[in-house]
Structure 1
């Protein structure tokens, strides 16, 4: 089987198929108005596509693993894009770098400091950054004490009430598994809100470990609907502050509603602020299973 960057020559008169690339990137979301391109707004997609077009000298559009809200960060975001073979071949110039290596180097020269492409690599045409993903992992970091708050970190929510992490962990356990998370997300018309929550855990890392002094949530699922992670965290903050009992998030889940809470407080979950949230990792199957995974996701999510 030919290497993804060395493909058979097209038939005479036939246009060569575009080459698909995967980019792995990180960004500080503080000064971005979210992921998706919006007129008159600075967005991650807009800045990235502008840089790609400048470097490749052709219009470029990217497909992302997971759109992030304004103020949300990413360490492990993934996109795919297609480039004409002639544009790809021109990237190294006179250097001995591969086109993918040259793309990373050239992007490093034009992207702003709060957006970094770490790696580019050729992938099969069946690779889909969004629908091909098996699961995504986010972390939400909270400083609930002046002793542990670092004003230089922009990926941490400053919370002025001490949190009961054990209560938050106990409340989270009831939400694991496959459920309709309508109460925890803003649904897209006609799309499913059923998701499989693989992990929702809370810890206070010990001294000497990463994020020591903070409260850290790990949230992992096959996929997330809009605002789902922030709503899960928002519900658990209510428990951690002592405003709600441990059983309350499970009752919110069972209600499956977007209505506000009534006398019993059971309704759509409240949202936490965006700045503590970071997309950490997106996992994909082996190349041979990419097409099947993408098809399953498209059918299941409507």
Structure 2
């Protein structure tokens, strides 16, 4: 009897060429499909919610797959994680949860929204051990200016200005950002800044471009109120730079 399984997955994106399966390179989808096919003793293809880029991390990626196999849903994480523990990249990918869902449920198409977190290390000399998990910005950032600029992003807008070229063409670039919060920890000169953004959907590199634009605001290169004109322009050229991938984390998917 065919069953439909929903996975919750976490991974360190450093050692992967992104989520999507590609020939001859290591990807999250490729590694998981190979392991699941062995555990389920049948070819498995998974559909993920977010096609994260190389270097991007996930705390709560979701994916579905279906098939006729004997292993109970709640035993799949144990079996797959055990199989992956014997590889030379042990510890950078793990299934957190596996449960059976109704037939026809799809991880991506049934998702109501997602939350991402972007981590910035705002200090002049960042520890080398953080290089794969933070975006280092040496200049002290103006947090109040960044929060003011962020307030203009919340709500329903045409976010074409925050879409990079090269992604899958979309029917519309209108999205709704439900929250955008900026937190900081630590003392000035050695602090982490966390940008958390949630919404009903995101365009290609949208979170990284929003982050890069907010960094430009924090540096004083873009006025906070200019965010209104950037959004109204629908032009990628008016927004700031694209922040690097290693600071980005997919935190949660909402259903």
Normalising by structure 1, we get a TM-score of: 0.77
Which residue of the partner structure matches residue 19 of structure 2?
A: 35
Q: CA deviation at 1:165?
A: 1.1
Q: CA deviation at 1:42?
A: 1.1
Aligned positions, number: 245
State yes or no: 1:19 paired with 2:3.
Answer: yes
One of 41, 46, 60 as aligned partner of 1:57: 41
Structure whose alpha-carbon radius of gyration is higher = 1
Secondary structure, in 3 states, of the residue corresponding to 1:178?
Answer: strand
Q: CA deviation at 1:202?
A: 1.1
Q: CA deviation at 1:101?
A: 2.4
CA contact (8 A) 1:252 1:269 kept: no
Which residue of the partner structure matches residue 120 of structure 1?
A: 98
Q: Which runs of 5+ in 1 are unaligned?
A: 1-15, 92-98, 261-266, 285-302
Q: CA deviation at 1:74?
A: 0.3
Secondary structure, in 3 states, of the residue corresponding to 1:33?
Answer: coil
Matches within 5 A, 1:70-85: 70-84=54-68
CA contact (8 A) 1:236 1:249 kept: no
Normalising by structure 2, we get a TM-score of: 0.90
Which residue of the partner structure matches residue 299 of structure 1?
A: none
| In structure 2, distance between residues paired with 1:163 and 1:24 | 35
Which residue of the partner structure matches residue 44 of structure 1?
A: 28
| In structure 1, distance between residues paired with 2:95 and 2:170 | 34
Which residue of the partner structure matches residue 171 of structure 2?
A: 191
| In structure 2, distance between residues paired with 1:166 and 1:190 | 34
Worse overlay, 222-231 or 99-108: 99-108
One of 148, 152, 159 as aligned partner of 2:129: 152
Q: CA deviation at 1:249?
A: 2.4
Which residue of the partner structure matches residue 214 of structure 1?
A: 192
Distance 1:219 1:82, change over 3 A: same
What whole-Å deviation, never above 9, does each CA across 1:14-67 have from its counterpart, x for those lacking one? xx4x20001111000011111111112211111111111111121111111111
State yes or no: 1:205 paired with 2:185.
Answer: yes
Secondary structure, in 3 states, of the residue corresponding to 1:129?
Answer: coil
Worse overlay, 20-29 or 123-132: 123-132
CA contact (8 A) 1:157 1:273 kept: yes
One of 75, 98, 103 as aligned partner of 1:102: 75
Q: Which runs of 5+ in 2 are unaligned?
A: 85-89
